[in-house]
Structure 1
Amino acid sequence: MEKIKPIAIYLPQFHPIPENDSWWGKGFTEWTNVTKAEPRFEGHYQPHLPANLGFYDLRLEETRLAQEAMAKEYGIHGFCYYHYWFNGKKILQDPLDRKLKNSEEDLPFMMCWANENWTRTWDGANHNVLLHQEYSFEDDLAHIEHLIPFFKDNRYIKVNGKPIFIVYRPKLFPDIKKTISIWRKAVQEAGFPDLYIGFAQNVEHSFSPNEKGFDFGFQFQPNFGSQSKGIPYGITKMRRLKHKFKVLLGYRIKKKLGIKFKEFDSYYDYDTYCDIQKKIGFRKDVYPGITPMWDNSARRKEHPFILHDSTPEKYKKWLSYIRENYPWDTVPESFLFINAWNEWAEGNHLEPCQKWGTAYLEVTKEVLE
């Protein structure tokens, strides 16, 4: 087996921008939510506070170099940067733009278009849309032409000469096959053999890659919805019963019968969740994915999703299972997608925190080397 290449998903959010200043107050970043988080029940790990790298600002070269040095020390092959594009308007592009101009930042990278409406997800108010995501074939061409200079960078990750580009939510496109054909043509005209195009595979996007014109998918973890096959880790027996009742009836039946009860937060035991994912298994042309932990209660004040009681040892067990059981011969590269490097407000990070230090990074290096 070829050496596994872990790709850590990277959030380029930790610096002030005019839009966030306007929407949430001067100087807002995810650190604002992170530092306000509190435990919601006994044994709940909150807040997640950074250790080695501190409350950094991604505008600083020293910060980005320190992140890359740490990633390389622990065997991370590259970062997958979230990319934000709204019909030519770019958001949170500054860290990657600065990297492109700085040859010292030499960690390989790729990009994933977070093609959703920009909403108040940061504080849980999903109904409040701040920037609409609109689609057109004209915009598809403008977008890929904007990306080609990134693809040409020698640090950009390619497979057989093809630059990798990932779409987070393909179902939102009116005609994703047509969009992909526009992108492929433009990339080929720019001198590349083709585009290596992928998507985040989960319950929402459970199709095979070639059905929609993609080359690959990757398991986006946690795979929301798949946990319904297991037993939720709740705070009270009533919550557990409500969840089972909700799953049993289904949303449509519940609505038809007029059954009403207050929605509740979703708490799952990390170990149980891992066991469910092992039973689900792997799919051809879909790269494996894993999350070291997940708890978005810092961002979502109501109805967070929490994988409770994650530890480096439990993460190690899941990671080892993937290493030994994934059919590596079904994909042209040995990528493993880790969600995430620095999603601090989702309690989802390889970067060292004050509770675990570098333990998750150490385990990653130990298992994958």
Structure 2
Amino acid sequence: MNQKTIAFYLPQFHPIKENNNWWGKGFTEWTNVSQARPRFAGHNQPQIPADLGFYDLRLNEVRNEQAALAKEYGIYGFCYYHYWFNGHMLLERPFNEVLKGSEPNFPFCLCWANENWTRAWDGLDRQILIQQNYNKEDSENHIQWFIETFHDSRYIKIDGRPLLLIYRCDHIPDIEEMILSWRKAVQKAGFPDLYLVAVKNGFIEIEDEDIISTGFNAIVDFQPDRRDFPSPRSAQEWLYRFARRVLPEWLYQRIKLSISMNNVVDYRAMVNAIMQKSWPKDYRKYPCVFPSWDNSPRRKSATIIQNDNPMLYGKWLKHAITDIQSYPDSERLIFINAWNEWAEGCHLEPDQKHGHAFLEQTRDAIRTQPSKE
């Protein structure tokens, strides 16, 4: 295996006091998943977990089973979402318990999900439940917390440099200064440097070259990204895209909250278009593939990219592996969205409809080694 395949991992599957207060006692991601219903003929909802059931991530047995299953099918490690709000962390228990113990013996890294928490689940600045505030003192405290984590032997490193992702680089003021400060702190702690990766999702409008110039080592082409959606095939799709393009964001979101306006995207067409894109060789950009996508359990107006053919996903993953073969061996990374985003219909974990089919395609793609360009 000459690349590392890393799956994003959501730690939302256990109750916390904040969610109890915001959403009702006992709320977890399973609350939305179990209440989902089909919105049109052939819509694959609800999506019910198979092998692992409706698990609770406070249990060590569950976390060990997840890691064993991921390892069996060729996943190199998990990228845990990390929620930090000026020293206050959310959903931290599963990862902290992994960190404190020796199990699971499975590689991991972190992605700082630095968005406001809102009632809309999308990080936009309205109905804020807990807010990100950036300042120098907090930045210094945060990197010291990261450094303690980096010392774990399971933490994924690129030539000795801890791999750290930031979800919204566009939200951080004076980011060049922060990155320089973090690099100095990491080097002082005995590491060669920090391997910092920007997650370029559909909300980030900054050009790749400008992101790299701020001090990032690489970019993740986070998918699904609305900029890669194929041309609309129905009047409803056209209306959805048109409204998003011409309306102010606040008005567009308000309309979405008041009416049900599903954006149904063709997975095959989207994947085919992405595979036609040329991949940069003069800077590091890591592919991110997803098996399927459906956030209707979370949203009244949903984006649905249903994929009932696991082989299409496998084809995309093989292609993505080929894209990075010109990179140095240590920097061949592939990201998968996601291991367990159940409320966004985006999971490698087996469900009752597809079973292990997506995991099998993952393993087959990883085993098929392309030749280096």
What TM-score comes out, normalization by structure 1 length?
0.90
**Greater CA drift, 336-345 or 124-133:** 124-133
User: How many aligned positions are there?
Assistant: 356
Deviations 1:176-221 (A, max 9, x none): 1111111111111111111111111244343224211101111111
User: What residue identity is the alignment partner of 1:226?
Assistant: D
User: What residue identity is the alignment partner of 1:339?
Assistant: N
SS of the counterpart of 1:210?
helix
User: What residue identity is the alignment partner of 2:139?
Assistant: D
| 1:67/1:214 CA distance change after superposition, 3 Å | same
User: What residue identity is the alignment partner of 1:107?
Assistant: F
Q: Compute the displacement of 1:11 (Å).
A: 0.3
Query: What aligned pairs does 1:1-369 form with structure 2 within 5 A after superposition?
Result: 3-122=2-121, 127-203=126-202, 204-208=205-209, 209-227=211-229, 230-233=230-233, 237-243=234-240, 264-283=261-280, 284-301=283-300, 303-329=301-327, 332-369=330-367
Q: Conserved in 1, the CA contact under 8 Å of 2:115 and 2:123?
A: no
Q: Conserved in 1, the CA contact under 8 Å of 2:116 and 2:124?
A: no
SS of the counterpart of 1:85?
strand
In 1, Cα distance between equivalents of 2:6 and 2:327: 18
**Greater CA drift, 193-202 or 339-348:** 193-202
In 2, Cα distance between equivalents of 1:47 and 1:129: 28
In 2, Cα distance between equivalents of 1:245 and 1:223: 16
Q: Conserved in 2, the CA contact under 8 Å of 1:232 and 1:243?
A: no
2:370 match: none
Q: Compute the displacement of 1:39 (Å).
A: 0.7
Q: Conserved in 1, the CA contact under 8 Å of 2:324 and 2:332?
A: no
**Greater CA drift, 321-330 or 110-119:** 321-330
Q: Compute the displacement of 1:262 (Å).
A: 7.0
| 1:250/1:193 CA distance change after superposition, 3 Å | same
Deviations 1:153-188 (A, max 9, x none): 000000111111110000001111111111111111
1:258 match: none
Q: Conserved in 1, the CA contact under 8 Å of 2:83 and 2:91?
A: yes
| 1:178/1:81 CA distance change after superposition, 3 Å | same
Deviations 1:218-244 (A, max 9, x none): 1111113331xx2235xxx43144357
Q: Conserved in 2, the CA contact under 8 Å of 1:86 and 1:133?
A: yes
| 1:285/1:331 CA distance change after superposition, 3 Å | farther
SS of the counterpart of 1:90?
strand
| 1:351/1:206 CA distance change after superposition, 3 Å | farther
User: What residue identity is the alignment partner of 2:215?
Assistant: G
| 1:238/1:288 CA distance change after superposition, 3 Å | closer
User: What residue identity is the alignment partner of 1:328?
Assistant: S
Q: Compute the displacement of 1:263 (Å).
A: 7.6
Q: Conserved in 2, the CA contact under 8 Å of 1:124 and 1:300?
A: no
In 1, Cα distance between equivalents of 2:172 and 2:179: 10
Deviations 1:111-169 (A, max 9, x none): 00000001123499973110010101211111001111110000000011111111000
Q: Conserved in 2, the CA contact under 8 Å of 1:120 and 1:126?
A: no
**Greater CA drift, 263-272 or 42-51:** 263-272
SS of the counterpart of 1:171?
helix
Q: Conserved in 2, the CA contact under 8 Å of 1:287 and 1:331?
A: no
Q: CA RMSD in A?
A: 2.4
| 1:183/1:347 CA distance change after superposition, 3 Å | same
Q: Compute the displacement of 1:43 (Å).
A: 0.9
Unaligned 5+ segments in structure 1 are 256-260
Q: Conserved in 2, the CA contact under 8 Å of 1:9 and 1:80?
A: yes
| 1:249/1:174 CA distance change after superposition, 3 Å | closer
In 1, Cα distance between equivalents of 2:123 and 2:37: 16
| 1:72/1:327 CA distance change after superposition, 3 Å | closer
In 1, Cα distance between equivalents of 2:101 and 2:33: 29
Q: Conserved in 2, the CA contact under 8 Å of 1:282 and 1:288?
A: no
In 2, Cα distance between equivalents of 1:47 and 1:26: 22
In 1, Cα distance between equivalents of 2:319 and 2:197: 24
In 2, Cα distance between equivalents of 1:194 and 1:245: 44
Q: Compute the displacement of 1:336 (Å).
A: 0.4
SS of the counterpart of 1:271?
helix
